[in-house]
Amino acid sequence: MKTCSVARNLFVALLMLMTMHESNAQSTRSSTVAGRSTVYSPRGTIATSHPLASGAGLEVLLEGGNAFDAAVTAAAVLGVVEPHMTGIGGDMFAILWLAEEEKLLGLNGSGRAGSLMTLEEMERRGHDSVPIEGFEPITVPGALAGWAELLKSHGTITLARALRPAIRLARDGFPVSPIIADQWAGEIEKLRRNPEATRVYLPDGQRAPVEGEWFVNADLARTYQTIATEGPETFYGGTLGKTIVDHLAENGGFLTVDDLKKHQSEWIKPVSVEYKGYKLWELPPNGQGIAALEMLRILEPYDLASMGHNSAQYLHYLIEAKKLAYADLAYYVADPDYMNASVDDLLSDRFTMSRRAKLNARGAAERPDPGELITKSDTIYLSAADEYGNMISFINSVSWEFGSGVVVPGTGFVLQNRGTGFTLEPGMANTLAAGKRPFHTLVPAFVTRTAEDGSDEPWLSFGVMGGSMQPQGHIQVLLNLLIFDMDLQEAIDAPRFRHIDGLDVALEAPITEVSRAGLRSLGHNLIDWNPHWFGGAQAVMKLERGWAAASDPRKDGMAVGH
């Protein structure tokens, strides 16, 4: 009876949401790219980039599970329905608000370079950079270990229960959603270069599945079932891990069984900066979250509201702050065991003032970067909250689209190419070394506000997926909320810029021609950019009572609650 009741409640919740979205489609906000409404709910909520993942997470919440249970369940489903973005072949990071302890906690679920992956070996093979595809850029996948650690430490359900919806979808199939179908089609040539990737991801060996086409991944269903039965140990040194390592060894890869056995997720302390009574929290290196914090510090004294939202002056200040922060990101940030500068150094008053002094209000800087920008990334982000007051900001990725492009026969999932985050230039903080964590683009975010007693209280769990778009997306969404008083969905919908490199900047279509002309006059070069690459945000906000949630129309996902 309980199962029937849960299924009925889930159906009603989804039906109400679809009806609400359909009615709101009648009156699109002129300042935004879509017309969705913020989703409000009294008990719990989850926002992901795919409806099936949101539904699976909501089902867990309806059964009494917590936000962390729902996040892992949704992440496993996303590994099935968004295989080009995420899966157990990648890494993960999370920021958790533990309601009972009133504590913010971070989890670093990224893997390290294999013990055979050395600078000398890359040079011997004739590489001047880590290859983008194939067996060489594959590092230890940390996602599955991160999921297991999250459930073990703070969840209420088993990993087997969390994997159940994903197993069902992979085994029985699902219709592919439109944005994912379009992105999948862009990777056909990459998938064709690996025979097993071709077999698994291209239905007839020549094309990607189209919108609405039924897709089945029986191999992934079996892999998930093996993990559910044997535990994550099968991946980290057990039967599944040995299968992966043997295949990589035959094809020039660098991982060993011992590398998998040694892998551990790490609980870490998030770092923050204050802004107008709020604190933006990011994870410390080896991720790029510090860039968002530095951007916010640089922008702090400016009267951004008077400039006007997405005016040329406003966009110019944000773009130039981004360039400065990313210059420092490229030069200083790496595995923290190898960094020469601390987070405190990079966020200090003295350092911030020196960087702010380089922001030219009258013209665009061509290249303040001391080195080239490091990597791109294709990612899923989700956020969840429960009736107990817990919140989670969660991100998972295989790095580039379909990662390395390598699928080990019989496993049904792609392995990440996170090794592309290393540089082969000797003597840099991020120079490749065996057993070292690469620079990472994955950055979940969290915002607290100052309570009357001076303590930090949870306010917002959010993220903007999309490689280097993430920190600049964090700042745009956050300023929409704090400076321009948008509601949560409006803040996500609002058109964005993406600084690419040098003077090149891409703008979403709704940004006015007046702003475009103003940016050109300041020296910015406006370029066309794939509309899919302005990021995909999900967010959950704590209200005085209940929750607000929003999902980015740039993705196929949705926010749901109960």
Residues classed as catalytic: 379
CA distance 78 to 80: 5
Tokens of 173: 């199939």
User: Exposed, middle or buried by CB within 10 Å (0-12, 13-18, 19+), for 349?
Assistant: exposed
CA distance 60 to 386: 10
- How large is the C-alpha radius of gyration of the chain? 22
Among candidates 240, 236, 211, 20, which has minimal Cα distance to 145?
236
> What 3-state DSSP class applies to 459?
strand
CA distance 533 to 506: 10
Alpha-carbon separation of residue 508 from 155, 193, 328, 388, 537 (angstroms): 39, 33, 26, 38, 15
CA distance 519 to 526: 8
Q: Please, which residues have CB within 8 angstroms of residue 273's CB and are 6 or more apart in sequence?
A: 279, 280, 293, 296, 297, 347
Q: Please, which residues have CB within 8 angstroms of residue 74's CB and are 6 or more apart in sequence?
A: 46, 48, 53, 54, 56, 57, 382, 384
- What is the end-to-end Cα distance of the chain in Å, rounded? 19
CA distance 388 to 500: 41
Across the beta sheet with 456-465, the strand order is 39-41, 547-551, 536-542, 456-465, 445-450, 278-282, 271-275
CA distance 414 to 543: 39
Q: Is the dihedral of CA 223, 229, 234, 238 positive or negative?
A: negative
Contact (Cβ atoms closer than 8 angstroms) between residue 554 and residue 465: no
Q: Is the dihedral of CA 362, 367, 370, 376 positive or negative?
A: positive
- How many CB atoms within 10 Å of residue 513? 7
One-letter amino acid identity for 137? P
> What 3-state DSSP class applies to 124?
helix
Strand-pairing partners, residue 342, are none
> What 3-state DSSP class applies to 116?
coil
φ, ψ for residue 143, nearest 5 deg: -60, -50
CA distance 39 to 543: 12
CA distance 258 to 434: 13
Among candidates 340, 330, 425, which has minimal Cα distance to 371?
330
Tokens of 269: 């302390």
Q: Is the dihedral of CA 199, 205, 208, 209 positive or negative?
A: negative
Contact (Cβ atoms closer than 8 angstroms) between residue 536 and residue 554: yes
